[in-house]
């Protein structure tokens, strides 16, 4: 179990040197937050590969990612509205 998952389960997080107490996260919330961590890791891998891509590959990937970004933004809006 990673440190971040244990911190989430305990409900205590350090944010910029300050301790913040939250209700302990449910298993479902932790699973969903791990998905977001996976997205960030994937974006780092994509970023590191950009230099080796052709112009056509970069164009195709950017179009593909733009469609995914729309879905991502829609889910963030749903979370913010509580829907």
What is the extent of the structural domain holding 45? 1-52
**Do residues 42 and 68 share a domain?**
no
Q: State the angle between helix axes of 27-49 and 3-10 in degrees (0 to 180), rounded to the nearest 10.
A: 150
Task: For the chain, 83 residues long, give each residue's pLDDT as a single digit of tens.
Answer: 444 554 455 554 555 555 556 778 899 999 999 999 999 999 999 999 999 999 999 999 999 999 999 999 999 999 999 97
**Do residues 46 and 61 share a domain?**
no
**Do residues 46 and 67 share a domain?**
no
The count of domains in the chain is 2
């Amino acid at each position: 179990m990673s440190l971040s998952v244990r911190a989430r389960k305990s409900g205590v997080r350090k944010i910029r040197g300050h301790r913040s107490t939250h209700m302990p996260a449910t298993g479902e919330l932790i699973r969903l937050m791990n998905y977001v961590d996976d997205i960030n890791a994937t974006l780092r891998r994509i970023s590191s590969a950009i230099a080796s891509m052709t112009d056509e590959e970069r164009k195709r990937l950017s179009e593909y990612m733009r469609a995914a970004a729309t879905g991502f933004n829609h889910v963030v809006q749903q979370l913010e509205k509580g829907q």
